[in-house]
């Protein structure tokens, strides 16, 4: 049986020093720069893949497919996920959208594989 893991990665400009946020959820702001995203405020554009150390540097963002992600809570495989207030991925809270599915379990502070649902991009403020 063959496996194919298609991912979509785009490069935009970082809005700030994001060197401490590799594999965190991020969003594309109205000025088309990338910043760490909170699932309570913005729909995530995707997951930050690199570590841009200053505003204006290239930020590689995975916007669809399987990607490593920083966990902010204990997660089990197949659980629906959303970003927490700091951009780490947590189990979806009832009444809030899920933007990804855990592909494996893990704990706070661990990097684990998730599958982003394509088309989750945007900067529209959300409400429960």
Cβ-defined contacts of 30-38 (< 8 Å, 24+) = 30/123, 33/59, 34/59, 34/61, 36/86, 36/87, 37/83, 37/87, 38/83, 38/84, 38/85, 38/86, 38/87
pLDDT at 13: 97
Total number of domains in the chain? 1
Q: Who wins on pLDDT, 54 or 40?
A: 54
Does 123 reside within a domain?
no
pLDDT in tens, 62-81: 999 999 999 999 999 999 99
pLDDT at 125: 39
Does 40 reside within a domain?
yes
Does 68 reside within a domain?
yes
Overall average pLDDT of the 32-41 stretch:
84
Residue range of the domain that includes 80: 8-116
Strand ranges for the chain from DSSP E: 8-14, 25-28, 33-36, 46-48, 58-70, 80-83, 89-91, 100-102, 111-116
Residues 6+ apart with CB under 8 A from 23: 47, 48, 49, 67, 68, 69, 70, 111
Does 3 reside within a domain?
no
Does 21 reside within a domain?
yes
Does 124 reside within a domain?
no
pLDDT at 123: 38
Does 128 reside within a domain?
no
Does 108 reside within a domain?
yes
CA dihedral 104, 107, 109, 110 (to 10 degrees): -30
Q: Residue holding tokens 């204006």? A: 56
Average pLDDT of the residues of the chain: 88
% of the chain beyond a pLDDT of 90: 71
């Amino acid at each position: 049986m063959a496996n194919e893991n298609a991912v979509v990665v785009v490069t935009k400009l970082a809005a700030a020093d994001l060197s401490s946020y590799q594999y965190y959820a991020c969003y594309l702001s109205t000025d088309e720069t990338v910043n760490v995203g909170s699932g309570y405020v913005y729909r995530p554009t995707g997951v930050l893949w690199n570590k841009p150390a200053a505003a204006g540097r290239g930020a590689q963002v995975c916007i669809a497919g399987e990607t490593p992600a920083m966990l902010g809570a204990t997660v089990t495989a197949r659980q629906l996920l959303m970003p927490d207030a700091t951009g780490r991925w947590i189990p979806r809270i009832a009444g809030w959208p899920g933007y990804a599915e855990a592909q494996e379990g893990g704990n706070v502070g661990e990097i684990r594989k998730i599958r982003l649902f394509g088309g989750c991009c945007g900067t529209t403020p959300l409400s429960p």
